[in-house]
Amino acid sequence: MLDGILTGLSTALTPTNLAMVFIGCFAGTFIGMLPGLGPISAIALMIPITYGFDPATGMILMAGVYYGAIFGGSTSSILINAPGVAGTVATSFDGYPMARKGLAGKALAIAAYASFSGGTIAAIFLLIAAPALASVALSFQSPDYFALMVLGLTAVSAFAGRGNFLKAMMMTVVGLMLAMIGSDPVVGMPRLNFGRVDLLDGISFLLLAMATFALSEALMTVLKREKISDAARAATQGRMGSLKLSGAEVKEMAPVVARSSVLGFFIGVLPGAGATIASFLAYGMERNFARGAKKEEFGKGSIRGLAAPETANNAAASGSFVPLLTLGIPGSGTTAVMLGALISYGVDPGPTLFTERPEVFWSVILSMYFGNVILLILNLPLIPYIARLLTLPSNLLVPLVLFFSLIGVYLVSFNNFDIYMMVIVAVVAVMLRLFDYPMAPMILGFILGDLMERNLRRSITLNDGSISFLWERPITLTILVITAVIVALPLVGFFRQRRRLAQAGEGG
């Protein structure tokens, strides 16, 4: 292992590879900021460019683009409520409200520090435990993934305001229903597509996210005739808010970063889970851990609510390289493209990579640490300039949000139907928001719905139609027990509170 690390260091620290880390991080940051241009598209475009490169150099460049895009995606989430990539949807829940309070600078700084911490801690985990974690990832089967998705759905309580849990549950069901539109994943038959060929592949996540967050926010701004952000007024007066964090804020963030880094990394290790699920789980976990006034801050500009998903999604991005490099199994859509790149280089990903091509294996892992340092150095000085986006007047910023949202979705599919669909979804989202229905549970249900169905049906098929797999596999049973405990705890607290109130009434 020590020989491998030294080999990786000597490869990663060459001027060419350090330049590739810088270029990848720089390009990825700006790609992540633009809705519609995710890391998958960017990496796919870079594969032909890297054909003449050494395999280690090409992988280092693409890895830089990947975690750079996750890092940069938080910017548009915080400033204009338009998640640049799927993994930063949860960032907007508290990042955008913080920007509306005139703390856009601080929100971007918290996101930068949390991203750096999550990525760095995950890179260290990756360095130490990658070979051992490969066997853990390999032990996960379809029933375990189904249980994991069910656990993910428990995060719905984190997105429900006081007295709105039923509304949040209803929106989760809507998300699960939307995930079923398209073709049956097992037999391939069309379903719920109303005879439209355009819906055979289902609804695009980008379309749904842009419509329910960015587009609906712009329409709400026009409807209410208010400025798109109170932070704009502060910016014009030179009060974007300090980038410095107080000792109390750092103390509040530290345990959140530690917990979310571990959670994000291990979720990233599991093939098919990815940064999006990690960010939602981390947000829900911190919301459940919070007590009293801190819990009420979630959704209104909570430091914990911003730090948790930003830490987890970057840790998961690093963790997804474990199954890719050690098993040859892509942990996400982006690493699936990178798997194709590795094969095109003539490198066989899997257990043999560790021994046959140690310079590729270790240099990619070590470059992640340098990449996170470069991302922090790049982003912190740019925060005051990026935050000035909010100084644009509302009558200019709203059309820009509309333009980038619509063009971002159109450039993915080049299909006019997606534009019509997006407008319809945005109008429905505005109506629901006017009645105080939360959008986040719908996105959560949509993301997890397809994964839940595929793994459930695969598990039932392999188990001859029986559901005994739910309690026969120790991993599945453990995850479901944890889910039951998480669901039961708020109910126990509710009944205890009612009992105390009843006792107080009798005593009075």
* Predicted confidence band of residue 260 (pLDDT cuts 50, 70, 90): very high
Q: Taking 70 as the threshold, does the pLDDT of residue 56 lie above it? A: yes
Among 165-174, 198-207, 423-432, 487-496, name the most confident range. Answer: 423-432
DSSP state of 245: P
Q: Taking 80 as the threshold, does the pLDDT of residue 454 lie above it? A: yes
Mean pLDDT lowest among 313-317, 359-363, 366-370, 396-400: 396-400
Q: Taking 70 as the threshold, does the pLDDT of residue 507 lie above it? A: no
pLDDT digits (tens, 9 = 90+) for 97-113: 888 887 888 888 888 88
Ordered alpha helix ranges (H), 85-204: 92-100, 104-139, 142-153, 165-179
**Average pLDDT in the 477-490 region?**
79
Residue type, 341: A
Q: Which residues of 420-429 are buried (b: 16+ CB within 10 A; e: fewer)?
A: ebbeebbeeb
80 vs 35, 342, 405, 483, CA distance in Å? 11, 36, 11, 34
Q: Taking 60 as the threshold, does the pLDDT of residue 309 lie above it? A: yes
Q: Would you state the pLDDT for residue 493?
A: 66
**Average pLDDT in the 463-477 region?**
81
Does the residue 352 lie in any domain? yes
Q: Which class for 227: exposed (0-12), middle (13-18), buried (19 or more C-beta within 10 A)?
A: middle
Does the residue 485 lie in any domain? no
Rounded to 5°, angle at Cα 503 from 500 and 508: 125
Under 8 Å between Cβ of 456 and 150: no
Under 8 Å between Cβ of 451 and 143: no
* Predicted confidence band of residue 311 (pLDDT cuts 50, 70, 90): very high
Provide φ and ψ at 40, rounded to 5°: -60, -50
Q: Would you state the pLDDT for residue 240?
A: 53
Q: Taking 70 as the threshold, does the pLDDT of residue 162 lie above it? A: no
pLDDT digits (tens, 9 = 90+) for 367-386: 888 888 888 888 778 767 76
Q: Which class for 394: exposed (0-12), middle (13-18), buried (19 or more C-beta within 10 A)?
A: middle
Does the residue 498 lie in any domain? no
Give CA–CA dist 197/442, Å, rounded.
Answer: 24
Among 133-142, 193-202, 209-218, 339-348, name the most confident range. Answer: 193-202
Q: Would you state the pLDDT for residue 219?
A: 82
Mean pLDDT lowest among 2-6, 158-162, 227-231: 227-231
Does the residue 247 lie in any domain? no
Q: Would you state the pLDDT for residue 237?
A: 44
487 vs 32, 92, 144, 277, CA distance in Å? 34, 25, 18, 18
Residue type, 62: M
What percentage of the chain has pLDDT greater than the value 90? 3
Q: Which of 380, 107, 379, 90 is nearest to 249 (CA)?
A: 107
Give CA–CA dist 145/423, Å, rounded.
Answer: 34
Q: Taking 50 as the threshold, does the pLDDT of residue 235 lie above it? A: no
Split into its structural domains, the chain has a count of 1
261 vs 47, 114, 190, CA distance in Å? 30, 9, 40
The domain of 228 spans: 2-235+253-472
Q: Dihedral sign, CA of 446, 448, 450, 456?
A: negative
Does the residue 479 lie in any domain? no
Q: Would you state the pLDDT for residue 428?
A: 92
Does the residue 42 lie in any domain? yes
Q: Taking 50 as the threshold, does the pLDDT of residue 160 lie above it? A: yes
Among 97-106, 123-132, 416-425, 468-477, name the most confident range. Answer: 416-425
Mean pLDDT lowest among 71-80, 130-139, 218-227, 298-307: 130-139
Q: Would you state the pLDDT for residue 472?
A: 80
Rounded to 5°, angle at Cα 333 from 13 and 444: 120
Q: Taking 80 as the threshold, does the pLDDT of residue 423 lie above it? A: yes
| pLDDT mean across residues, the chain | 78
* Predicted confidence band of residue 298 (pLDDT cuts 50, 70, 90): confident
Q: Taking 60 as the threshold, does the pLDDT of residue 236 lie above it? A: no
Q: Would you state the pLDDT for residue 295?
A: 81
Q: Would you state the pLDDT for residue 474?
A: 84
DSSP string, 327-375: HS--SSHHHHHHHHHHHHTT---STTHHHH-HHHHHHHHHHHHHHHHHH
Q: Which of 193, 304, 325 is nearest to 256 (CA)?
A: 304
Does the residue 417 lie in any domain? yes
* Predicted confidence band of residue 231 (pLDDT cuts 50, 70, 90): very low
Q: Would you state the pLDDT for residue 232?
A: 43
Q: Taking 50 as the threshold, does the pLDDT of residue 229 lie above it? A: no
Does the residue 477 lie in any domain? no
Q: Taking 50 as the threshold, does the pLDDT of residue 227 lie above it? A: no
Which run of H or E residues covers position 190?
Answer: strand 190-191
Q: Which residues of 114-123 are buried (b: 16+ CB within 10 A; e: fewer)?
A: bbbbbbbbbb
Q: Would you state the pLDDT for residue 301?
A: 84
Classify residue 184 as left (phi > 0), alpha (psi -120 to 50) or beta. Answer: beta
Q: Which of 236, 329, 327 is nearest to 274 (CA)?
A: 329
